[in-house]
Amino acid sequence: MRILRIILATVAAIGLTSALSAADREPSLYERLGGKPAIQAVASDLVDRILLDQRVNKWFAHAAATPENASAYKAKLADFLCQNTGGPCQYTGRDMVTAHKGRGVTSDAFNAVVQDLTAALDKFKVPQKEKTDLLGIVATLKSSIVQK
Ligand code: HEM
């Protein structure tokens, strides 16, 4: 009986501690964006915009070739964004330097994709703070993607 009381008290204490720490900590950008479904919707809309964008779509002939290629690219982009905003996803693609090596991505092309991303975030009415935070993360990738 005594042992049972100790076990119950321990379980209650652990439950209380984890409830408090979940409430205490700042929500991640992943959570503030609305989790995986919201990130998938943004990634999907971004890829649709990129494939229609005359400024950049010549780079994406492979993704545009079949619906399966486009879906695979959307899924990789969603996992990448999910992982890099503090989400629980496992991005299994290449790192940004390797993925873009030899593609000759220009600064103008990078800026055009950032504009497409901004338009996608606006479409889903992502608030200014979350937009700024996500665009800030993407900006840090520029030197890995635009390679001289
Ligand atoms: C703006 C931020 C960008 C992010 C976060 C990003 C992210 C990614 C990711 C996660 C992949 C998948 C890598 C893999 O398959 O292992 C990828 C592939 C690729 N990226 Fe980027 N990228 C960005 C900008 C750009 C730009 C500006 C261009 C060119 C204008 C570009 C061209 C490509 C191409 C052509 C692929 C291969 C797509 C395919 O055929 O499946 N990316 N990118």
- Whether 20 has a pLDDT exceeding 90, the answer reads no
Percent of the chain with pLDDT strictly greater than 70? 84
- Quote the pLDDT of residue 148: 75
Neighbours of 129 (CB within 10 A): 10
What's the burial of 68, exposed, middle or buried (CB within 10 Å: 0-12/13-18/19+)?
exposed
Question: What is the residue with the minimal CA distance to atom 8 of ligand 1?
Answer: 77
- Quote the pLDDT of residue 11: 47
**Would you place residue 1 in the very low, low, confident or very high pLDDT band (cuts 50, 70, 90)?**
low
**Would you place residue 55 in the very low, low, confident or very high pLDDT band (cuts 50, 70, 90)?**
very high
For every residue of 13-54, DSSP letters joined together read HHHHHHHHHHHHSPPPHHHHHTHHHHHHHHHHHHHHHHHH-T
Please provide the distance, in angstroms rounded to a whole number, between the alpha carbons at the two ends of the chain: 72
Question: Which candidate, 121, 116, 120, 145, places its Cα nearest to that of 132?
Answer: 121
Counting DSSP H helices and E strands in the chain, the numbers are 9, 0
In this structure, is residue 119 part of a structural domain?
Answer: yes
Q: What is the atom index within ligand 1 of the atom nearest the CA of 61?
A: 40
Question: Which candidate, 129, 122, 118, 135, places its Cα nearest to that of 81?
Answer: 135
In this structure, is residue 41 part of a structural domain?
Answer: yes
- Quote the pLDDT of residue 25: 83
Q: What is the CA(141)–ligand 1 centre distance, in A?
A: 11
* CA 74/CA 121 separation, integer angstroms: 15
Domain count, the chain: 1
In this structure, is residue 67 part of a structural domain?
Answer: yes
The domain that contains 141 carries what CATH number?
1.10.490.10
Encode pLDDT of 38-48 as tens digits: 999 999 999 99
Q: What is the atom index within ligand 1 of the atom nearest the CA of 112?
A: 27
3-state secondary structure of 147: coil
Q: What is the mean pLDDT of residues 53-68?
A: 98
Q: What is the mean pLDDT of residues 2-12?
A: 54
Range of the domain at 108: 28-145
In this structure, is residue 38 part of a structural domain?
Answer: yes
The DSSP call for residue 93 is: S
Encode pLDDT of 79-114 as tens digits: 999 999 999 999 999 999 999 999 999 999 999 999
In this structure, is residue 14 part of a structural domain?
Answer: no
Neighbours of 113 (CB within 10 A): 21
**Would you place residue 16 in the very low, low, confident or very high pLDDT band (cuts 50, 70, 90)?**
very low
Q: Cβ(63) to ligand 1 under 6 A? A: yes
